[in-house]
Structure 1
Amino acid sequence: MTSLTAIPAYAAPAPKAPLERTTIARRTVGAHDILIEIKFAGICHSDIHQAREGWGKGIFPMVPGHEIAGVVTETGSAVTRYAVGDRVGVGCFVDSCRECEYCEQGLEQYCVQGTVATYNGREKNGEPTYGGYSTHLVVDEKYALRIPEGIALDEAAPLLCAGITTYSPLRHWNAGPGKRVAVVGLGGLGHMAVKLAAAMGAEVTVLSQSLRKKDDGLRLGATHYHATSDEATFKELRGSFDLIICTVGAPLPLDSYLSLLRVDGAFVNVGAPEEPNSLNMFSLIAGRKTLAGSSIGGIPETQEMLDFCTEHHLGADIEVIRADQINEAYERVLASDVRYRFVIDTATI
């Protein structure tokens, strides 16, 4: 089997350092592995958090990227799921224990022993993992996803994180006809939450700091759009929603947002602020409300999401960039200056 060395990639050499072109080695293609020629890699806000150690100590040099779309170019001798030429994706993890109750249920993201992250993690042999800001990836076939022909690869790449991160809680909390769903924040995650919730048949409201993106929100499938900077919003919408999906990565006044829920409503965090948050417990007690979190999705649900997006003709709204624009893109993400996901054309690495 092929032994890959000197694979072009973009890496952060140290915490908070600009990313730069480098080379990395990939493992030999094993019996159950596939070799993917990466075509596109999305830039997730979590890439920035990790490259700048906002969530804790990282492993450097770090090659970010867990929104990966490409084509199989080689298969191991025991591979049965994929063939050369297949369109595939890889999301936030590339392995798990495979034995715990959650792995057996297809909830690998909650693996008791912890998943092997696609980047800024370590393989079971201790070697660091490198992500999708590169030209090739070797992965066990069980941790790859099939990208249907109905989705362009560049628009599919962000679905491997932004898509499944929002799809999973919408499904778990039963978004659909007759349900009123609010999406907090209209960014990379938020724009997919709006598309998915609308496609599921829910009545969707966007809650954003301003009305700057209102036209986009309505175009993406929202019925209503409100500015959270306007205090009247919280009075007007009090007790309105069955489900709120919070996609922002900054602390919020949770008591105010919980007041927007109906009895038995749920406020679900998929954004992960670097700072802690606080709330008054009476905000939960009064109304039997739920404050929850949700982490990506397992392999079966991620495949379900990709098939759902194909059926409903959904892809991410993207801006394709060259690899030498990554550092600029990071700053634009922090400034909320992207509609709505940067995707790297990895042929430019």
Structure 2
Amino acid sequence: MSWLSCCRAEVHQCNVPCKKKLIVGKPINNGKSLRSFMHTLSLKTDDNKDKMAEEIRRIGKAKVSASIFTFRELSAATNNFNSNRLIGEGGFGRVYQGYIEAVDQVVAVKQLDRNGMQGSREFFSEVLMLSLVQHPNLVNLVGYCADGDQRILVYEYMPKGSLENHLFDLAPGQQPLDWNTRMKIAVGAAKGLEYLHDFANPPIILRDFKASNILLDERLNPKLSDFGLAKLGPTKGKDHVSTRIMGTYGYCAPEYAMMGMLTTKSDVYSFGVVLLELISGRRVIDVNRPTEEQNLVLWAEPLLKDRQKFTLMVDPLLKGNYPVKGLCQALAVAAICLKKDAETRAVMADVVTAIEFLARPKDNEIIDAELLNP
């Protein structure tokens, strides 16, 4: 029996005729302007930091909705970037919690490492991309600073941190996410990607979709963050964008990781990886596991073909509290997102439809997982 057969009926129920889409947030209708800005970035700013700051200020005054802050303002907001305010750290730099009087808002202040991985072009790209998109599942850019050689981004503060903080290495006493919350997060993340792919003009490919870049508000609603590696999608009949390979190992689609061929389907693959993380509670790469289990996707591939092994893929922290049909469909969605051939992968609009169906409360379906193996 095909691993998909157990949920074929549910998939058919999801594939209802498409109704006219309600655009939540503001669609981008300025594709020419966006491409023009990115072209300007490549031709004029190069790696000259003074020119970069000047270009950002010029576009900021004309087009960008985010505020422009001085380094002094952000230093005051974070108590001189005090370590007590530190809420995150990575190859890009450090993130601090702060309060800015000018906007009367608690914020997250991301100070990029001047010698780090995220350069001036990536900084400019993130400012531009986040200033021109608006959706409930995309993090809001409050402002930025380009004083001298400082590169600082200011976001809305997301009090629950990243999805990564709630899936892996939980602190003592920290409650794991229940099944419905995991699916709710999957829905919101999928809607964010759908907006970037289908409503942006030209489409935007996030290129670094992963658990640590999905931030959660106080109600655990997800918002996509970190647009430093985002790229504009192909136009004028082209089927992909050729670009240098960036992103995070394990999340990158095969055609992109091997040949630098980037499309919106590359994000779809990354979504499939994150969905597997949500289901399994496993990191995409975990060197602390046995060799054959260290790569999540490679470990999951044979299990997806055997219905009797579905329960082996579920996070033990759920303690069997999940809907059997929901598990089956979630794995079906993950599998079609993880197709090695990009053309056979789902598009995000279809993923949203399927995941929304999955996330609907079904009180009578929370049963012991052992029923999958009678």
Normalised to the residue count of structure 1, the TM-score between the two structures is: 0.27
**Structure 1 or 2: more strand by fraction:** 1
**Which of 1 and 2 has greater Rg?**
2
The structure where helix makes up a greater share of residues is 2
Task: Return the TM-score normalized by structure 2.
Answer: 0.26
